[in-house]
Structure formats: structure tokens, C-alpha cells
Amino acid sequence: MVKYVLKRILYLIPVLAGVALIVFTLLYITPGDPAKMMLGERAGEEALRQFRQENGLDRPFFIQFGNFLLKAVTRGDVGKSYITKRPVTEEIMEAFPQTLKLAGYSMLIALCVGIPFGIISAIKQYSMFDTTVIILAMIGISMPAFWLGLLLILLFSVNLGWLPSSGFESFRAMILPSVTLSTGSIAMLTRMTRSCMLEVVRQDYIRTARTKGQKERVVIVKHALGNALIPVITVSGLQFGYLLGGAMLTETIFSIPGVGRLMVNAIMMRDFPVVQGGVLFVALAFSVVNLLVDLLYGYVDPRIRADYK
């Protein structure tokens, strides 16, 4: 198990280096001068030159990228914000708890709704409930989060006045952002759970369990669901990683001071170090979530645990 974990951690190095290269290249060729964005269009050439020199923007591309990668690997330093002059790592660590809380609540809603809906839909295949769930799942997958968020704000905040339209401090303020972000994950988990359960309930051991006189609830929960969990766990882990990275629009719509909103503001202001650090952090979080999901397989399926050993 330890060797497997260490090997997976080593795999993270080229992945993060590739992500850093792609992001750095895209920001380098993006139109717009960070110096003029920070100092203003009327800034003199001497001030612009000094800003570019202080932040290394006057150097060739590969030298800039090499310095960035060297500092990130040796010191964990991904630069300082052009705006606040603070280390990017500090700003991300301050904003990440809000993003983690939003993604955690959204994932909890997705698990509590998606898995039961998928199980019931599989048990009652081709029923009215099953048809309704399939239609709602298709709508949930197709619906953009920013559009749903605006609709929820109009309905529950503007028209009804039941829930606040911004912030994430109280329980009432958490409802709309969490529901908005969790909709796509609910649809994905519902479809995956339904598909896996339909495949499992047709197996011979399920028919054997029923012929032995076991209760239907025991057959579904103990025998069927247990063997259908591996794909569901995979999708759940991927969805949680997507929620961490995809909270950008939701945080912007509901004014939540998370990593996503921090990156949106940085993109608008051409604050390149914050954008680079934010993307690397999201990539690292996504990779760690995938590693934890792989380790969770071993506790769910003894065959996979034997392979790890």
C-alpha cells in the first residue's frame, strides 16, 4: 500500500509540471499588459519598465517559466500578487476553506439525493418514477450552473425573499450556492447508480439471495449496492474534484470569497501569479482526491486491497 501511494505521488510531479507549462504558456500569449493593468494606461514608460523588471516580465519565456518552476518546487513559492503584494499561497489558503465548504456541502447533497434516486429508479425500471428521474437527470446535466444560479436568485431571493442572494456565512446563505453547484453531480450520480444497479440486479447471486428468502431490502442494500459501489465511488471522487475546480462561476454569482472568485478577479486584472497558483492548487487538489478514491477502493472491495498488497 505504501509503495502504491508513493508511486502515485511521484506521478503527480509530471502532471503538475505539465499543468504549469500549459497555464504559463496561455497566460504568456494572452493579450493584455499586466503592467498597464496595474499602473494604468497613463503610466509612464519608466514606471512600466520598472514594474516589468521587478516582476520578471521583461525576460524570455523559458527563463520566466524556469524561475517560476524552480521556486515552486524548491520553496513552494508561486509568486506574489501584483495587486496585494502578498504571497499567492497565503491568499489561496485564506480562500480555500470557503471553496472546500461549498464543494463539501454540494457533494453531500449530491450523494444524499443522487444515490437513493438511482437505486429506486433501477428497482422500478420503466415506471413513471424511473422515467421522471431520467428526464430530470438529463435536464440537470444539460443545465449550466450560472444560469440555474441566477434563476434561483430571482425566485427565492428577489421574488419570494426567502433566502439571501450572496455570502456563505449562515446556513440559509449556503442553500442556494450548494444546490446550484450540486445539480450536475446529482444527475451524474443518479445515472451512474441506476446503470450499475441495473447491471448488478440481473446477476445470478442476486436471484440466489432472493430464492433463499432474504428480504428485498437486504438483497438491494447488502448484495446489490455493495457490488455496484466501485463505479459510483469513482464518479463521486471525480465529481468532488470537479466541484473544487468548477465552483468558480458559482462563487462569482453568489459573491463567495473562495478560490474560484479569487481566480476570476485575478484573470480580469491580469494578476498572473494568482491565476497560475490557483490553477496549480486546483490541479493538486483534484489529484489528491483521485488518490484518496483509489485508496477507498481497497476498503470497499477486498480484491482490490489484495492487488495493492
pLDDT digits (tens, 9 = 90+) for 293-308: 777 776 666 666 555 5
Closest listed residue to residue 65, CA positions, set 12, 30, 21, 19: 21
Instruction: Tell the burial category of 60 from Cβ atoms under 10 Å away from its Cβ (0-12, 13-18, 19+).
Output: exposed
Distance CA 49, CA 35 (A): 8
- What is the rounded CA–CA span in Å between residue 242 and residue 244? 5
Mean confidence (pLDDT) of the chain: 83
Rg (CA), the chain: 24
User: Please, are residues 84 and 91 in contact by the beta-carbon 8 Å criterion?
Assistant: yes
CATH classification code of 99-268: 1.10.3720.10
For the record, the C-alpha cell of 254 comes out as 453568489
Instruction: Give the least confident one: 117-121, 139-143, 191-195, 199-203.
Output: 199-203
Mean pLDDT (whole number) for 47-72: 82
Residues 6+ apart with CB under 8 A from 162: 156
Integer Cα distance of 136 and 147 in angstroms: 16
Confidence of residue 113 (pLDDT cuts 50, 70, 90): very high
